Amino acid sequence: MKKIDLACIIDDDNIFIYGVRKVMELADICNNFLIYRNGQEALNALASIISSNEKLPDMILLDLNMPILDGWQFLDEFIQIPVAKKVTIYIVSSSVDPADVLRAKSYEIVSNYVVKPITMKKLEELMRDFAASQS
């Protein structure tokens, strides 16, 4: 299975961040992480990375419900930025609202919608999906 060099986690829940990072490290599927606590912080940092031609994350795990700039607002802004590299985005939310799932599918850049928590099994499914999207 392809290993992720750089993953980005955008979430305001410290427990989720700790847990998903730990699971990804234990599964040995990711080398490095970028962590942002809200959409605005992530958008500013990623825009800076893009403009300075630095390495973008291979995968973004994006929460929907965050302060300052939520996941939807982040997506609306991020898709406006020209990006040379393909970035795979997964919505990772506690929301089970079918409207959220449907809305997520309307974004071409969003690969999948995952309901929290992320277990090892869900992570393995994500990795298979990620590997397939890179082909």
Separation in Å, CA 29 to CA 24, 58, 87, 127: 6, 12, 17, 8
Tell me, what's the pLDDT at 1? 58
* DSSP one-letter string for 32-75: EEEEESSHHHHHHHHHHHHHTT-PPPSEEEE-SS-SSS-HHHHH
Tell me, what's the pLDDT at 43? 96
Q: What is the pLDDT along the chain (135 residues), one digit of tens a residue?
A: 578 889 999 999 999 999 999 988 888 888 899 999 999 999 999 999 999 989 899 999 999 999 999 999 999 999 999 888 888 999 999 999 999 999 999 999 999 999 998 888 888 888 888 888 776
Which domains does the chain possess? 4-119 (3.40.50.2300)
Tell me, what's the pLDDT at 133? 77
Q: How far apart are CA 5 and CA 131, in angstroms?
A: 13
